[in-house]
Structure 1
Amino acid sequence: MLAALWVTCKLALISSILLLLLCTPLAWWVAQGKSRHLRTLTEAAVALPLILPPTVLGFYLLILFSPSGLIGQFTETGLAFTFTGLVIGSVLYSLPFVVQPLSASFAQIDPRLLQLGRSQGLGKRQLLQRLVLPVSGHAFVTAAVLGFAHTLGEFGVVLMIGGNIPGETQVLSILLFDEVETLNFEAAHTIAASLLGASFLLLVLLYGWQRHRRGRYVAA
């Protein structure tokens, strides 16, 4: 179980960091981009994992990551059943949980504030550091927690593209399935309770922090 716990935590942490790096510019374009039709298509594509069966996404990624696939052919053995493939799949599957909080916050930024910053000679990086981050810092926290928590419980995608390799791609959700299959319910209860408790605690901390932040904002 410790090996699966390590793989799960490592996957969630790496995926969360990559999601924040990749989703910040994507969320900004969704919120502030000029092409309305293209933004609509992008929003739909980003939200697709919310309703798409995880095994469908995992199946197509498995084809892409295979040694003869569009992506896997550029590696010696492909990316299927590797930790790298697992990370890519997790990032794609958790996109909406990070993009949506960020884009919702970015959309509320007053365009006049950005225009004022540009008129004072601020570049894109300076606008991000001095205007966007202070206003949307809470959205980054929310996005990071949701992305991390969602990755903890992934099953269908990671099983399809990662398989079940102990110490390499076997995460807690897959180990739980294995224990149930072998009727080892005592171990299954331990794993399930751990995942339930960790997910619930993350959400309690997130919503408690949000409530405390709103209370301070109203008081101010």
Structure 2
Amino acid sequence: MFQLGPAEWQAIGVTVRLCLYTTVILLVLATPLAWWLAQGRSTVRIVVQAIVALPLVLPPTVLGFYLLIVLGPRGLVGETLENIGLRHLAFSFEGILVASVIYSLPFAVQPLTEAFRTLGRRPVEVASSLGAGFWDRFFTVILPLTRGGFLVAATLTFAHTLGEFGVILMLGGSIPGETKVLSVLIYDHAEAMNYGAAHSLSLMLLVFSFVTLFVVYSINRRFEVVRL
């Protein structure tokens, strides 16, 4: 039976760290964006929605290639960082974190947008009429009534980040302890014809993916029942 070795544990550590950081960052960034998108259906909002959803249809290698160009030493961001004495972001954990945030953006924004639309404006307007400030309205009205959307967004973001491959490989390569996540390690094992190790890690991710989807559907069903 395949035993997890130092390389596997190292990849698990990088993967978990990437997933956690991406989830936290996206919950912070996606919340105001999703709230704004939920407040109307203007042309500008439709354009922004289309941009946010691009990673759903864009091949990961395409996104990874352009991020490599932009974040690399000759790209706009990478060259700017080097000019101020910092390192460019290609082939670094920070680089794949940026890529992960962009690639997983729709998995955080879309559930939150739907949750905010379902909430409507009435509860917030009532709280505002009673003198509640912005943060009071958010933590006592919006967050409790849309917690299902936040749970789905966090779960999907974490799970999607766990399975990222093309974007990570294009921008980060396969650097142990830095950019080698589980999906890349599985590829390395398969390329080396170490099918036992590749199978064990793949099975682990398969089980986790099923559990994640089960949790998401359970959350949706629970809050649909509550709304009824």
TM norm structure 1: 0.93
Cα deviation, residue 216, structure 1: 5.4
1:73 corresponds to which residue? 79
- Residues 120, 95 of structure 1: alpha-carbon distance in 2 compared, 3 angstrom cutoff: same
Matches within 5 A, 1:136-215: 136-215=146-225
The whole-number CA distance in structure 1 between the counterparts of 2:36 and 2:224 is 27
Structure 1: distance between partners of 2:155 and 2:99: 18
- What whole-Å deviation, never above 9, does each CA across 1:117-174 have from its counterpart, x for those lacking one? 2222222212211211111010000000000000000001011111110111000111
How far apart are 1:112 and its partner, in Å? Answer: 2.9
Counterpart residue identity of residue 199, structure 2? H
Amino acid in the other structure paired with 2:20: L
Distance in 1, Cα, partners of 2:219 & 2:116: 20
Tell me by how many angstroms 1:203 deviates.
1.7
Structure 2 partner of 1:12? 19
Are the structure 2 counterparts of residues 213 and 27 from structure 1 closer, same or farther at C-alpha, using a change threshold of 3 Å?
Answer: closer
Once superposed, what is the RMSD of the aligned Cα atoms?
Answer: 1.5
Q: Provide the rounded CA distance (Å) in 2 between the counterparts of 1:104 and 1:214.
A: 13
| Alignment correspondent of 2:49 | 43
Distance (whole Å) between structure 1 residues aligned to residue 125 and residue 80 of structure 2: 44
Counterpart pick for 2:117 among 107, 115, 119: 107
Counterpart of 2:36 in structure 1 is: 29
Residue 137 of structure 2 corresponds to residue 131 of structure 1:
no
Native 8 Å contact 2:152 2:219 kept in 1? no
TM-superposed CA distance for 1:85, in Å, is: 0.7
Query: One-letter code of the match for 1:84?
Result: E
- The separation in 2 between residues aligned to 1:152 and 1:63, in whole angstroms, is 24
Question: Aligned residues, how many?
Answer: 217
Q: Which runs of 5+ in 1 are unaligned?
A: none
Deviation at 1:20, TM superposition (A): 0.3
Counterpart AA for 1:39: R
Q: TM-score, normalised by structure 2?
A: 0.90
